[in-house]
Structures are given as structure tokens and as C-alpha cells.
Amino acid sequence: MNDLTRRDFLAAAAALPLAQAPPTARPEPVKAGSRPGSAAPDLPYLSLTEASALIKTRRLSPVELTQAILDRVDRLDARVGAFITVTRDAALHAAREAEQDIARGKYRGPLHGIPFGVKDTHYTKGVRTTANTPVLLDFVPDFDATVVARLKGAGGVLVGKTKLPEFSFGSAGEGGAFPDAKNPWNLARTPGGSSSGSAAALAAGLLTVATGGDTSGSIRNPATFCGVVGMKPTYGRVSRRGIIVISWSLDHVGPMTRTVADNAMLLNVIAGHDAADDTSAPLPVPDYTRALRRGVRGMRVGIPKPEQFDGYHADVMRTFHDALGVFRRLGANVVEIDLPATADVVDDVQAIVRIAEAASYHEPFLATKADRYGLTSVRRDVEAGSLVTAVQYLRAQRVRAKFTQELSESFGTLDVFLTPGMPAPAGERSDVKQPFRRMFNACGFPALVLPMGFSTSPAGLPLGLQIAAKPFDEEAIYAAAQAFESATEWHARRPAI
């Protein structure tokens, strides 16, 4: 982030008060190998909350859980295509080590012995990191990304590296080093992008938890389309060290899970200052699980005015209005707000910044490996970024700083801000120019998507609810998201795959 934008952003963040959280609420233990309300063992679909409680009390073996996940990958991933690399032997070795450590009383916390996957933009020591491009097909890092190191340090078991469009550009497209992932709810539909493999793997029960990257909505888009929970934290909350770059001032790394509580647990592990990342915020990290029982009674919930939804799919608007009804019944105060005038151009601003910064990162590749790009559209976008002038880039950053300040003022009277996750179901054409996704990359505010219903035409596709908040107030988002999830059952549905 350039100095002007980062200074204004941090100043705005510091000026906004954060809500306080109540004491931690511990989850109730569940029987090994089964989900509440289900008599059949279902290890691959155990939540992190469930699995960690069972592993901690030694009623579930990390080896048993990891093997169940790997067996399911063997059965289903040829159809889903969620993974680029599966680290089978290393995963089983890590699971055995976790089991032995726990038996010796060296339990590290809720990630200990838990199978996780990371987007294949995350450096993994000794394991190829391809970004799904022939340009990096043989790249094997000699260190772990900070996020990966923290997950391993917490005792997590790396199962593999998940799919994405080439270099994380776009939502989906043929021509990278590997085929696209598929949407487990309908294999003919897109899973979204760019964190497509992580979302598809979670929906299909191929991972317990995962991570993704978000530059233009790339966690929240696939979370919406695949019916899972995806958080883009505040810019600077999670280290980007060891992450393949699209745009250093827009890129975010965040947790992807099947439940809100799991998401909060995962962010607890990966968040925090990293001296090796000069954009990492030197701020204390709260225990996000403390916000899960807060509820929304009296919460100030903002929504856009109706004209902002022109062109949205009827099913999206139906389920969004139903979601607002849930919040009202739970005691929240829902109010329409005016977005800043700069919201109308923030998508264009974000696009200019993204391709200009991408061109800088890709310059050595274009000089030595230009013929190895799998998608001509990716190479075209990167080359176009080199044509952005300094005047255009700086003008875009000034508009971006103005938008960030104005949005801070709009959010000053709110606790959270709600929109649909996407304007249409997966694979349905949408020409809506809406700022609700990229705007939170441009300003760096946190935003989460969780399931809010399913489409009827076409039938059976997940639809998502986006919840955003002030900078570094992920707690308010988790409070609102947990209240909605607890009052609905959308997160409990599974694809028929």
C-alpha cells in the first residue's frame, strides 16, 4: 500500500471504536466420528470445533481423521479437482507425530492434529508451489509462508495445495498448468475464484479447514458459490510473507471453513504481526472466539439502498431479504445508508492499482518466460499493467484514499454492513457493476461471507451473505455471523457428491 493510502487507512482505523467481547464460550464435546443429529460416522465433515474437542480428549486419533480425509480425496478429487498437490506421506507422518505428542501431554491447541490445505500460492518448504502456471511449475520454496508456518506450529497437518486460476487471475479459465476445480454442488458450475480449490475441498469434505487469498474477492466469491465461510481480514492482520503476489496493496490472506466458529478459531492461529512483512499491522490480536456468543441484539446493521441492487438475481434478493428478517428478529437495528460517491468508481480504481502492481511483480517473468503463461488473458493483463502511467497510478491511489476515508465516516455509526456475497448464483451471467466485493480490497476493511440460502432457478446452488465491519473489528463480524448461522441451517447442508 503506498504511503498516502496506508497512512489514511491506519488513521481511519485508529479513529473507529471497537466493540467489547464477553468471556470465551467453550464448545460442547461430541461423540467421535459423528455429527450432532447424525447417527452415521462422518469424519471428513467434522467441524474444527468438533474434531479438536475429540482429539484433545484422545477420543479421536489425528491419524484416523487424516486417513479418512485422504481416503475421501482418493475417491472424489478426480471429479472435484480441488488439489494441485496432495502431500499424503508427509500428512500421515505429521498426524502420527501429533498423536504421539498429544499422548505425552504436549497438546498445542485446537489445530493440533487437524488436516488443513492451503492455496497453491502459499510457499511450502520442500513442496512445489505452482500458482497453477507453467511459469512456476518446478518452483520448490526453501521456506514456509508465515501462514503455513503458523499452522504447522499449531500442530496442523498439511494435506495438500489447492487449485486456483493461473496466478490467481480471474474467477476460472482453462489454460493454466492444471485443470480448473469444479463446484461440488453442480460439477458443471464454477466454484468461483481465485481460491476455488480451497472452497471446493471444504464443500466436498476433502479438508477440515483451509486458507485462501483475496485481491478482488477471491476468498468471498468461491465461499459464496460453494456454500462455505470465507473471511478476508483487515489488511495487515494476516502476514503475506511467502505468498505469491498479485498486488501487494490489495492482497489479503484469510481462513476458509465450513462454520463461523471454525473460521474464528483458524484466524486466531494465522493472525498477528510478522516483522518479516512490512505491511503487517503491529497490533494485538484478540481471541476471536470470544465474540461468538455476543449476539446481535441492539447491533447497528447497515445495508445499501435499493437502487444499489439493480440487476441482482431474484433468488439472491429473496434470500438477502430473508437474512435481514433474521437479523431483525434477533434484535438488530437494520438501516439503509448512503455509500460514498467514490464507491461508483472504486472498482475501476482497484483494477488500475491491481494490474500496475502485478506488472511490477511479473516483470522478470515476462522478460524470461513470457511464452510459458498458460492463459493469454493473464499475460495480457500483466502486460497492460506496464502501460499504466505513474500519473494514472497515483491518481487512482488518491481516489482510493478518499474512498477509504469516506467509508470510514459512513461506518462510524455502524457495527456491521450487510450485502449479498455475489449478485447471482454460480455460473449465472451477471453484468452488475457493484462495489460490494472489490471495495473491501481497496479500503482494506474486513469482510466475511457465509451461506444464506439456495437458489431455486437454477435449483440448489448456494448463495452467500457478506458481513463487513470497521478496520480490525473482525469480532463484530464473527458476532453477527455466528448469530445468523445459529438461527439458520444453511451451513449444515452438504452437496450430493
Terminal-to-terminal C-alpha distance of the chain: 42
Comparing CA positions, the residue from 371, 373, 314 lying closest to residue 132 is 373
Whole-angstrom distance, CA of residue 99 vs CA of residue 90: 14
- Assess whether 216 carries a catalytic annotation: no
Out of 216, 218, 408, 455, the active site residue is 218
Out of 194, 198, 216, 247, the active site residue is 194
Out of 47, 52, 119, 168, the active site residue is 119
Comparing CA positions, the residue from 496, 187, 168, 185 lying closest to residue 357 is 168
Q: Where are the alpha helices (DSSP H) in 81-212?
A: 88-103, 146-153, 196-203
The 3 state secondary structure assigned to 212-271 is EEECCCCCHHHHHHHCCEEEECCCCCECCCCECCCCCCCCEEEEEECCHHHHHHHHHHHE
C-alpha cell at 405: 476515508
Which H/E stretch holds residue 162?
strand 157-162
Residue spans of beta strands (DSSP E) within 292-386:
300-304, 333-337
The number of CA neighbours under 13 Å toward the Cβ of 140 is 4
- Assess whether 249 carries a catalytic annotation: no
Nearest-Å Rg of the Cα atoms of the chain is 21
- Assess whether 194 carries a catalytic annotation: yes
Query: Does residue 34 sit in helix, strand or coil?
Result: strand
Active-site residues, by number, are 119, 194, 218
